[in-house]
């Protein structure tokens, strides 16, 4: 059976060893491929599943896609615990080790520049939702709309304060369009969807600021997830970032329970 090379991430050389029990995509443990001062974290995958044509079909299989995303994310999580990886898109597949080396050679300057910027840093994601339990399930009357309007106004003001506070703690930020934007008919609306690039050593302080800001704020729910590899800050290398591959919006990130703060 012919095998292809699945590429998870590009890294600077690191000393810590990955667990021998770490299983990657297709159940195959990842290995490290060194070239030109970089390391590609790769695995072997069968061509019958990951060749161009079968992969197109597989990407329409939600169960297969989610299982693959979970395995992909497991490897990225293991790397994030020991270094600052540059994660590549889900299902980045090349013919063989020679093809991976060519990729590292051709994109070397881009990869090094991005790795320097991400070194010692992780991504934290923060979402803010309105939490209007009185309006939830109620008919849309003028009273309901008025109650939600007040909740939404308070949530938006809270969000401005929170984002300002967190931006001062972060080196970079990214604001994303909420998936469930605020409206008078949605009592549980998403007000903020943001990513923050934070030095790993300052993550505890960042988490405390999120928790402290949300603790005594009625009418909002804050969802904090991380630390992640810096998916949202990978730049324009053309191969990086979990989001954006065939329209995916982050299967892997939804495989773990978020840290909820109320």
The tens digit of pLDDT for each residue in 77-109 reads 999 999 999 999 999 999 999 999 999 999 999
Q: What pLDDT shows up at residue 19?
A: 86
Rounded to 5 degrees, what are φ and ψ at 236? -115, 40
Query: Around 122, how many Cα atoms within 13 Å sit in the side-chain half-sphere?
Result: 20
Q: In what order do the strands lie in the sheet with 121-130?
A: 172-175, 190-199, 121-130, 220-228, 259-261
**Whether 191 contacts 155, CB under 8 Å:** yes
**Whether 21 contacts 45, CB under 8 Å:** no
Please provide the DSSP assignment of 71-123 as one string. HHHHHHHHHHTTS--EEBPTT-EESSHHHHHHHHHHTHHHHHHHHHHHTTEEE
Instruction: Copy the structure tokens of residue 216.
Output: 């005594």
69, 99, 118 — which closes off a domain? 118
Low-confidence ranges of the chain (pLDDT < 50): 135-148, 184, 241-262
Q: What pLDDT shows up at residue 219?
A: 83
Does 214 lie in the same domain as 179?
yes
Q: What pLDDT shows up at residue 254?
A: 42
Q: What pLDDT shows up at residue 6?
A: 97
Kindly state whether residue 26 falls inside one of the protein's structural domains: yes
100, 118, 136 — which closes off a domain? 118
List residues bridging with 127 in a β-sheet.
Answer: 193, 223
Q: Alpha carbon 234 to chain centroid distance?
A: 11
Kindly state whether residue 44 falls inside one of the protein's structural domains: yes
Domain tally for the chain? 2
Q: What pLDDT shows up at residue 47?
A: 94
- Residue among 30, 11, 128 nearest 73 (CA): 30
Q: What pLDDT shows up at residue 189?
A: 86
| Greatest Cα pair distance in the chain | 66
3-state SS class at 133 = coil
Instruction: Copy the structure tokens of residue 251.
Output: 């299967």
pTM of the model: 0.81
Q: Which residues of 102-141 are buried (b: 16+ CB within 10 A; e: fewer)?
A: ebbeebeebbbebbebbeebbbbbbbbbbbbeebeeeeee
Does 112 lie in the same domain as 81?
yes
Kindly state whether residue 73 falls inside one of the protein's structural domains: yes
State the residue range of the domain holding 8. 3-118
81, 103, 118 — which closes off a domain? 118
List residues bridging with 222 in a β-sheet.
Answer: 128, 261
Give 48-80 pLDDT, tens digit per residue: 999 999 999 998 999 999 999 999 999 999 999
Does 127 lie in the same domain as 79?
no
Q: What pLDDT shows up at residue 255?
A: 39
Does 197 lie in the same domain as 142?
yes
Q: What pLDDT shows up at residue 213?
A: 86
């Amino acid at each position: 059976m012919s095998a292809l090379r699945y590429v998870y991430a590009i890294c600077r050389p690191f000393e810590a060893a990955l667990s021998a029990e770490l299983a990657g995509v297709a159940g195959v443990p990842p290995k490290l491929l060194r070239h030109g001062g970089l390391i590609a974290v790769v695995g072997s995958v069968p061509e019958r599943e990951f060749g161009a044509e079968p992969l197109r079909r597989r990407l329409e299989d939600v169960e297969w896609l989610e299982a693959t995303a979970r395995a992909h994310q497991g490897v990225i999580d293991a790397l994030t615990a020991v270094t600052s990886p540059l994660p590549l898109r889900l299902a980045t597949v090349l013919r063989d080790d020679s093809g991976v080396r060519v990729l590292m050679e051709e994109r070397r300057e881009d990869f090094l520049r991005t790795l320097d910027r991400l070194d010692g840093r992780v991504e934290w994601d923060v979402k803010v939702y309105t939490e209007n339990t009185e309006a939830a399930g109620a008919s849309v009357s003028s009273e309901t709309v008025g109650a939600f309007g007040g909740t939404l106004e308070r949530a938006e003001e809270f969000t401005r304060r929170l984002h300002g506070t967190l931006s001062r703690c972060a080196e970079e930020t990214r604001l994303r369009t909420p998936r469930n934007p605020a409206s008078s008919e949605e009592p549980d609306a998403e007000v903020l969807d943001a990513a923050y690039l934070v030095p790993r050593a300052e993550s505890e302080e960042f988490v405390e600021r999120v928790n402290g800001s949300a603790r005594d704020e009625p009418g909002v729910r804050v969802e904090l997830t991380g630390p992640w590899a810096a998916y949202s800050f990978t730049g324009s290398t053309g191969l990086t970032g979990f989001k954006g591959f065939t329209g995916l919006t982050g299967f892997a990130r939804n495989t773990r329970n978020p840290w909820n703060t109320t």
